[in-house]
């Protein structure tokens, strides 16, 4: 059944890919930054293009100057008519593209959701339905809170699952009491919260980051659960939310390297899009193109890819507004300073997602001062690491303008991932 769904999704999105939609970030120049086309274009590339296209509402720029298709310019009635020809699974997939598609798809069929399953050490389970959901530019943020949390000391694990109705009837709104298919996305341990996982606090709560992408808020006084937030990148989200099982997550199909004898193949032609946001407020939304590294920059199993150079003032970027991570429960709300959600999408030279994540991050005071020219104020670091690589960002607080400036951004790509992806032997 999973194979059939996968083929259906692939055929649908490959058809959309034929529109030759441009990849456009904020400030993208017309005709630039498009995906390179070729045999074997994957589902994720088409999905990313559709999302970017629907968001920016640009006209299709292909060989024909007469092409002027604009999904964002279509009235809702036309889009709903188009969506009416799609089956339930494809509608669920379309709902993961952006805010507009999510609401339009839900007008046709409602059913895709996410739950957390809290498991006690005794074996008892609690299924918690999500309370809030927001679709960002390249991720989904899902929140759970309430008054009926089980005691933290009794819990052992938390399972994050996508849920869809087993029996889909377009004429009826699916109910939560009916049978639903559970697709395991990630499993987390709740038996211990090391101090190293705490990324921030305020007068009421402490927040902990559990990889991948889970944020757990604990009340300071009782040390009990206040809320849980999952941050899910849109890349392969439809498959992960529908094609796994209750016990096993969806397994990506084997990757076939695209062989090439170009010198330093796999080290050039990267494109990065990074967002920093919270509660619908974006502090950073930037796209960087034509990124590259060299063999000489490979060290300790990582290839250093510099995005923003420390010594080049023209590349430095400000964060808009005062950075803080908003949280809320049914009783209280607040904002934790210096924390936010970071969404990162790194595309290879063929426009296919090479490294994606959505995760809470924290700006931590840097123990060493920046020795560059004309820098006054406190310095900060932002770090993220997973199996695909590491991200390191350096910022400085400009007292005169009361804003943070990114003065350095470096990605350290796993050489093992590069070799696996491109078939190289660095």
pLDDT of residue 61: 41
Tell the residue number behind the tokens 């290879």, with chain if given: 348
In three-state secondary structure terms, 43 is helix
DSSP one-letter code for 291: E
Cα–Cα distance measured from residue 356 to residue 340, given in angstroms and rounded to the nearest whole number: 17
In three-state secondary structure terms, 196 is helix
H runs (alpha helix) in 152-293: 237-242
Cα–Cα distance measured from residue 228 to residue 144, given in angstroms and rounded to the nearest whole number: 5
237 within 8 A of 403, measured Cβ to Cβ? no
Residue 381 CA, distance from chain mean position? 21
pLDDT digits (tens, 9 = 90+) for 380-413: 999 999 999 999 999 999 888 889 999 999 999 9
Instruction: State the CB neighbour count (10 A cutoff) for residue 114.
Output: 21
In three-state secondary structure terms, 111 is coil
- Check pLDDT > 80 for residue 368: no
350 within 8 A of 36, measured Cβ to Cβ? yes
pLDDT digits (tens, 9 = 90+) for 115-172: 999 999 999 999 999 999 888 888 999 999 998 899 999 999 999 999 988 876 554 5
pLDDT of residue 191: 85
Cα–Cα distance measured from residue 390 to residue 361, given in angstroms and rounded to the nearest whole number: 13
pLDDT digits (tens, 9 = 90+) for 254-277: 989 988 878 889 899 999 999 999
Picking from 324, 395, 388, the residue whose alpha carbon sits closest to that of residue 360 is 324
Cα–Cα distance measured from residue 69 to residue 74, given in angstroms and rounded to the nearest whole number: 9
Q: Is this model's pTM higher than 0.85 or not?
A: no
Cα–Cα distance measured from residue 36 to residue 271, given in angstroms and rounded to the nearest whole number: 12
- Check pLDDT > 70 for residue 196: yes
Give the confidence band of 50 by pLDDT, cuts at 50, 70, 90: very low
pLDDT of residue 222: 83
pLDDT of residue 15: 44
163 within 8 A of 124, measured Cβ to Cβ? no
Q: Give the containing element (helix H, strand E) for 16.
A: helix 2-17
Instruction: Give the residue-averaged pLDDT of 20-49.
Output: 36
Residue 410 CA, distance from chain mean position? 19
pLDDT of residue 56: 44
- Check pLDDT > 50 for residue 30: no
**Which residues have CB under 8 Å from 358's CB, separation 6+?**
138, 139, 213, 231, 232, 233, 341, 342, 343, 344
pLDDT of residue 69: 57
**Which residues have CB under 8 Å from 212's CB, separation 6+?**
186, 357, 359, 386
pLDDT digits (tens, 9 = 90+) for 230-240: 999 989 888 89
pLDDT of residue 372: 53
**Which residues have CB under 8 Å from 425's CB, separation 6+?**
419
Instruction: Give the residue-averaged pLDDT of 35-55.
Output: 38
pLDDT of residue 424: 92
Q: Give the containing element (helix H, strand E) for 184.
A: strand 180-189
Angle at 249 between CA 248 and CA 252, to 5 degrees: 125
């Amino acid at each position: 059944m999973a194979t059939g769904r996968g083929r259906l999704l692939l055929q649908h999105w490959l058809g959309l890919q034929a529109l030759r939609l441009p990849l456009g970030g904020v400030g993208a120049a017309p005709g630039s930054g498009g995906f390179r086309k070729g045999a074997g274009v994957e589902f994720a590339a088409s999905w990313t293009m559709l999302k970017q296209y629907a968001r920016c509402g640009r006209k299709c720029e292909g060989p024909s100057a007469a092409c002027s298709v604009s999904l964002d310019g279509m009235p809702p009635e036309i889009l709903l008519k188009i969506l009416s020809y799609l089956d339930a699974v494809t509608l669920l997939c379309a709902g993961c593209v952006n805010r507009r598609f999510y609401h339009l798809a839900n007008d046709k069929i409602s059913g895709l959701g996410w739950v957390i399953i809290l498991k006690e050490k005794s074996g008892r389970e609690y299924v918690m339905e999500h309370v809030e959901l927001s679709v960002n530019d390249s991720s989904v943020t899902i929140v759970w809170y309430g008054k009926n949390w089980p005691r933290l000391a009794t819990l052992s694990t938390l399972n994050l699952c996508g849920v869809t109705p087993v029996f889909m009837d377009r004429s009826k709104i699916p109910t939560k009491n009916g049978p639903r298919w559970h697709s395991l996305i990630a499993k987390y341990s709740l038996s211990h919260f090391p101090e190293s996982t705490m990324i921030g606090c305020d007068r009421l709560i402490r927040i902990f980051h559990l990889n991948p992408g889970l944020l757990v808020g604990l009340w300071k006084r009782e040390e009990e659960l206040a809320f849980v937030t999952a941050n899910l990148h849109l890349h392969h989200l439809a498959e992960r939310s529908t094609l796994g099982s209750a016990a096993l997550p969806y397994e990506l199909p084997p990757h076939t390297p695209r062989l090439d004898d170009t010198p330093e193949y796999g080290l050039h032609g990267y494109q990065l899009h990074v967002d920093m946001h919270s509660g619908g407020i974006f502090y950073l939304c930037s796209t960087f193109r034509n990124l590259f590294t060299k063999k000489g920059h490979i060290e300790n199993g990582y290839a250093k890819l510099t995005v923003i150079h420390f010594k080049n003032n023209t590349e430095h970027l400000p964060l808009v507004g005062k950075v803080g991570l908003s949280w809320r429960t049914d009783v209280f709300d607040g904002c934790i300073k210096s924390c936010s959600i970071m969404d990162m999408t790194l595309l290879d030279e063929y426009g296919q997602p090479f490294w994606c994540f959505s995760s809470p991050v924290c700006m931590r005071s840097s123990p060493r001062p920046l020795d560059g020219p004309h820098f006054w104020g406190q310095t900060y670091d932002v770090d993220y690491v997973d199996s695909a690589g590491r991200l390191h960002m350096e910022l400085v607080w400009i007292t005169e303008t009361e804003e943070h400036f990114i003065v350095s951004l470096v990605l350290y790509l796993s050489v093992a991932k590069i070799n696996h992806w491109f078939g190289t032997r660095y």
